[in-house]
Chain A
Amino acid sequence: MSFIDNIVGFGKKAIGFLGGDSIGGSLARTALLGYALNRVIKSANKGNDGIQDKGTQVTLDPDTQHSVPVLYGSAFVNGKVIDAHLEPGNKNMWLAVVLCEKTGNLIDGTPSVIGFEEMYIDNFRIGFDSDGVTVKNIYDDDENSSDVWNGLIKVYPFNDGSTSPTAFTTESGVGNTQNAYDIFPNWTSQHTLDKLVFCLIKFTYNKKQKLTTTGKEIKFKLSNNLTKPGDVLNDYLQNNRYGAGISSAEIDIQ
């Protein structure tokens, strides 16, 4: 006996009182079975409607022993998470990622400037909306674009501490103009992140648009105008924070 036979047996038992081979009995049995089936289907549909999106449990793994790199010229740098915040309602999640050290001056005294050129989340290149902050499109390696994350991610770059907002050099939008501690939840003016190049990123959860995590890898292409070997060596030899800390008197600059 299969379960099909069991179902038939159950049906016969349940409607046994309407037994008989008359048309009336047959109709009555059909009507009752149809009603029962209808209830079952309605119940199943109700159950499907009631399945709630439970979200994604995101576990971050910031590295407390990560050495902040020094970047000269142009390079790709992975962001290292230093803070995270989930807003009430659990829909908006913020990350603060450190990228590299802010470097010193060129030999002629011109301050070095580190610019943000590109951003990648899980190897998708990010394209921004006209405000220069909100993500509009993503691009794969073949430059195929998609607007699946349109409006769900906002990116705020800083190139010399919390009070140095900047914009992506490859974007035409205004870009970031606010201090970091005015953007990131719970930060105060004590969150200065002095002499650091970093980025604040806001993710808005949307299962339909396939944004349910903060990405495994957040990568930036940065560019430093400190590129010449003499400038680089001079900066690295003299810097007290990340370099050798040698005084200028010890270096014979020709």
Chain B
Amino acid sequence: MANLDSYDVVKTHLFVRVYVDEYRTTSGGSYTTQLLTFSDADSAETINGETYTPLGEFLSITQTTSELRPSTDTITIGFTGVPSGSIDEILYSKLKGSSVRVYRKFYTASGTLLSTQGYFFGKINNFSIQEEYNVEERTSQNIILLECASNFSVLQQKISGRKTNQESEKKFFPSDDGMNRVAIVKGTKFDFGAP
């Protein structure tokens, strides 16, 4: 990380990487994986060999707090100017749970790259679509909002492990009958040694 104190002016751009496990463009289409990379910069840039499409003002990302300890922060990534024809991709893909990484690049006033750092790592928690309909032109534009929860927040809400009962065991190993009788055995009286 460069020492930014020595600069009077720095420019920053945010770069978003969304990895969608199940992506499709039509309701009946088959799912594929899809990597979406975009930024609020005005030109395409590359991070770790992946090219980020410049969306400029069409992309908005809410602020996040920077803390020493990991915190349960959330951000909202907004796209404006999405044509109605592209809404299918949002509706029919499984965006929730997709991995989101946001990087920030620091530049000097003249555009020299100073540093690249992580800004937010998390998963898409929810999404919403807002329509702006132009009555006179009979056209509409859409705003897509991706609500993202940090990995720490996701982990805090996560409950894992299995319990000693049939339902829990079947969740992980559907064909295993090993715990089918736990509830039955509970309270059963065994006449051990009876004649």
Contacts and interface: CB of A to CB of B under 8 A. Distances in A.
> Is B truly associated with A?
yes
A185 to B, nearest CB: 12
A93 interface: yes
Interface stretch (A22-30, A61-69, A142-150): A61-69
Interface residues of B, number: 32
Chain A at the B interface: mostly helix, strand, loop or mixed?
A: loop
B195 A57 contact: no
User: How extensive is the interface on chain A, given as a class?
Assistant: 35 or more
Contacts of B189: 57-59
A64 B181 CA distance: 10
Interface in A188-206: 188, 190-196, 203, 205
A55 B193 contact: yes
B187 A61 contact: yes
A205 B161 CA distance: 36
B30 interface: no
Given A67-B161, A68-B162, A194-B172, 4 more contacts: A55-B195, A83-B185, A86-B191, A91-B193
Contact of B178 (A62, A63, A70, A193): A193
A244 interface: yes
Contact of A68 (B99, B163, B177): B163
A86 B190 contact: yes
B193 A205 contact: yes
A216 interface: no
Residue of B121, B164, B178, B188 contacting most chain A CB atoms (<10 Å): B178
A62 B193 contact: no
